[in-house]
Chains A and B, each alone.
Chain A
């Protein structure tokens, strides 16, 4: 895993829908930040996402599965989701906004309403 530059880590599981991941990445890119995608086992999504958040230079990681998308913050501890969304009801635009909001948490700008 490349930890040399400031990036938001995206941890996804095998079954997650690739279009959501792409939209989240685009959202992060539009805000001028970088992202790193990693495939992780379904059973340890939450643990590995928190580990990624701790490893990330910006302290933020997203966990993406078929059922849920959540954002974890290095400082918030292993049990706290800062943002939480359920993909079945998520449109492309909402996915993009989620990515933007993840980046805006890093930039210190107010979040867009989802």
Chain B
């Protein structure tokens, strides 16, 4: 008798189906379906996604859905990951004293020191002093240049210009004498008037060196040794620019303020471990490791980290409809990162890379309402539905269909919200662990560290390789290979860093170079994903060394990553471990492991039955 059995796996990001045609305990053929998970995993909103995924598999088999004999869903591990970022330092400039932005085309060249004055007020000023003239967008460039020339003829000494429009070169070309001009200064009205100011513009191809030297600034403003200590932050923030302005204001003081980010309290089996978020990720991870099996994690109340951990707990409580007190955070992953933050009090929207810590937390509850979901599915499809098995076990069973794999095997499922690992040793004993930190954390860190405005771009950087459109007719890929086109590419892509997607290019709106984006991307993947796989290996190993493992197989959405498997192979080959992407049923790649596991578990049960 022919039977049709479907296994459905609801993940954090996707819902996958494996549909098998079975005759006398033998699998004749198998199709699959995949859709986005609707709602949060384990809630009744999943039903829509499950039905769609099932429909897709049925369509491929050319089978009307009601003729299904059995639907099996997994006992999903009730695991939810969440992520938050804490800035632990902040550069604050009180009584704003610098313009450190980098216009593409500043005008003139050199260094000018003088007192700030608006162009409209120059003719009422004292002729004895040197001036830096501020030109608002009320003046068009021919007019501005004429006024400046005029003022110089009258005996005013003008040493530099600060311009609101992008007119630096145009003004410079019309001046009788070459002076440094910084343009595109948006918040021109915030510039303090009547104070001593230094303007520096470097020649093309060079960067400024007078204002990036604290002693240079001290020379310009005759600072004492005590005052020079305070300008180090200005000098630091200006490094790498082609033009800059520093203005001395009487109460100008800059400070790197340490924000109290809060304390993390980890409750282990025997005692509590405390660590400050300020201490950075290494210290936090050390305490997490020391705590061993974690009972729960709290953040000190009233702090950012406290709020973040409590919100994860609250979200989970709502989903499972259980009291917050019964929800425990069981793993935490912290990563150090640098995040561009606006310099508080700066004049041209300058930012500075501030230290921060990204934290992912993982919550586990008693049980999700999968039984409820099974009966809902039964109702809407009219086919019998049951809970087929535990997620981790099913993943191993499904992964073992990968050609070339064998026991003992460690299956690492890198999903969107959490990294799950299941180890099956040669005697058949299974160990399952769940770790915080996965695909979503990588996306968030990429977005934060590169200061991208859209999450879509961060996701694209994570998933696809990069290229740069070096001319209208050719692209240079990140590995150095060059691709030519017969027709010119879209001019909007010209000279931009592009993400090479299967259906075209996505321009990344950032000033960063391709090399910088690539190194940030790889560094973050190493810090989160590779580190998590190593954590998983150490936690499941009985001897504490990695040499006891033979196979590590990656499954789950994030293992589709184009470079992660190679990065892991690189690291794990050192321990003699074979690692790579799974290839479920020899054709599915790393997807569909759990769904396939559900189907194969049914086959095994049938066999035992006979």
- Please list the residues of chain A having a beta carbon within 8 angstroms of any beta carbon in chain B: 26, 29-32, 73, 75-76, 80, 82-83, 101, 104-105, 108-111, 113
Asked if residues A29 and B491 are in contact (CB atoms below 8 Å), the reply is no
Asked if residues A76 and B496 are in contact (CB atoms below 8 Å), the reply is no
User: Complex formed: what's the CA distance from A32 to B105 in Å?
Assistant: 8
Q: How far is the CB of B160 from chain A (nearest CB, A)?
A: 18
Asked if residues A30 and B496 are in contact (CB atoms below 8 Å), the reply is no
- Apart from A105-B491, A111-B495: 18 A-B pairs, beta carbons within 8 A: A26-B141, A26-B170, A29-B169, A29-B173, A30-B105, A30-B168, A31-B105, A31-B169, A32-B169, A73-B472, A75-B472, A80-B487, A80-B488, A110-B494, A110-B495, A110-B496, A111-B491, A111-B492
Q: What is the total number of residues of chain B having a CB less than 8 Å from a CB of chain A? A: 20
Q: How far is the CB of B279 from chain A (nearest CB, A)?
A: 40
Q: Which residues of B contact A82 (CB under 8 A)?
A: 472, 488, 491
Asked if residues B491 and A83 are in contact (CB atoms below 8 Å), the reply is yes
Tell me whether B31 is interfacial, beta carbon within 8 Å: no
Q: Which residues of A contact B170 (CB under 8 A)?
A: 26, 29-30
Tell me whether B166 is interfacial, beta carbon within 8 Å: yes
Tell me whether B561 is interfacial, beta carbon within 8 Å: no
User: Complex formed: what's the CA distance from A82 to B493 in Å?
Assistant: 12
Q: B interface, by DSSP: helix, strand, loop or mixed?
A: loop
Q: Which residues of A contact B491 (CB under 8 A)?
A: 82-83, 101, 105, 111
Tell me whether B104 is interfacial, beta carbon within 8 Å: yes
In B447-493, which residues have CB < 8 Å from any A CB?
470-473, 487-488, 491-492
Tell me whether B167 is interfacial, beta carbon within 8 Å: yes
Q: How far is the CB of B112 from chain A (nearest CB, A)?
A: 20
Asked if residues A105 and B487 are in contact (CB atoms below 8 Å), the reply is no
Q: How far is the CB of B565 from chain A (nearest CB, A)?
A: 33
Q: Which residues of B contact A30 (CB under 8 A)?
A: 105, 166-170
Q: How far is the CB of B142 from chain A (nearest CB, A)?
A: 9
Q: Which residues of A contact B168 (CB under 8 A)?
A: 30
Interface string of B99-124 (1 = CB under 8 A from A): 00000110000000000000000000
Asked if residues B470 and A76 are in contact (CB atoms below 8 Å), the reply is no
With contacts A31-B105, A32-B105, A80-B487 known, is A104 near B495, CB below 8 A?
A: yes
Q: Which residues of B contact A83 (CB under 8 A)?
A: 491
- Please list the residues of chain B having a beta carbon within 8 angstroms of any beta carbon in chain A: 104-105, 141, 166-170, 173, 470-473, 487-488, 491-492, 494-496
Q: Which residues of B contact A75 (CB under 8 A)?
A: 472-473, 488
Q: Across chains A and B, which 3 residue pairs bring their CB atoms closest together, nearest first?
A: A110-B495, A30-B169, A76-B488
Asked if residues B495 and A73 are in contact (CB atoms below 8 Å), the reply is no
Q: How far is the CB of B482 from chain A (nearest CB, A)?
A: 15
With contacts A30-B167, A31-B169, A32-B169 known, is A76 near B492, CB below 8 A?
A: no
Asked if residues B105 and A105 are in contact (CB atoms below 8 Å), the reply is no
User: Complex formed: what's the CA distance from A26 to B168 in Å?
Assistant: 11
Q: How far is the CB of A66 from chain B (nearest CB, A)?
A: 23
User: Complex formed: what's the CA distance from A105 to B492 in Å?
Assistant: 11
Q: How far is the CB of A105 from chain B (nearest CB, A)?
A: 6
Asked if residues A109 and B495 are in contact (CB atoms below 8 Å), the reply is yes
Q: How far is the CB of B70 from chain A (nearest CB, A)?
A: 56
Q: Which residues of B contact A80 (CB under 8 A)?
A: 487-488
User: Complex formed: what's the CA distance from A32 to B473 in Å?
Assistant: 24
Instruction: Name 13 interchain pairs, CB-CB below 8 A, sorted by A.
Output: A29-B169, A32-B169, A73-B472, A73-B488, A75-B488, A80-B488, A82-B491, A104-B494, A105-B472, A105-B494, A108-B495, A110-B494, A111-B494
Nearest CB to that of B510 among chain A residues?
Answer: A110
Nearest CB to that of B511 among chain A residues?
Answer: A110
Nearest CB to that of B166 among chain A residues?
Answer: A30
Asked if residues A108 and B472 are in contact (CB atoms below 8 Å), the reply is no
Q: How far is the CB of B488 from chain A (nearest CB, A)?
A: 5
User: Complex formed: what's the CA distance from A76 to B569 in Å?
Assistant: 45
Q: How far is the CB of B153 from chain A (nearest CB, A)?
A: 24
User: Complex formed: what's the CA distance from A82 to B494 in Å?
Assistant: 11
Q: How far is the CB of A67 from chain B (nearest CB, A)?
A: 20
Q: How far is the CB of B182 from chain A (nearest CB, A)?
A: 14
Q: Which residues of B contact A76 (CB under 8 A)?
A: 472, 487-488
Candidate in B141, B491, B492, B495 with the most chain A CB atoms within 10 angstroms: B491
Nearest CB to that of B497 among chain A residues?
Answer: A110
User: Complex formed: what's the CA distance from A80 to B470 in Å?
Assistant: 19
Asked if residues A109 and B169 are in contact (CB atoms below 8 Å), the reply is no
Q: How far is the CB of A54 from chain B (nearest CB, A)?
A: 15
User: Complex formed: what's the CA distance from A82 to B487 in Å?
Assistant: 10
Asked if residues B470 and A108 are in contact (CB atoms below 8 Å), the reply is yes
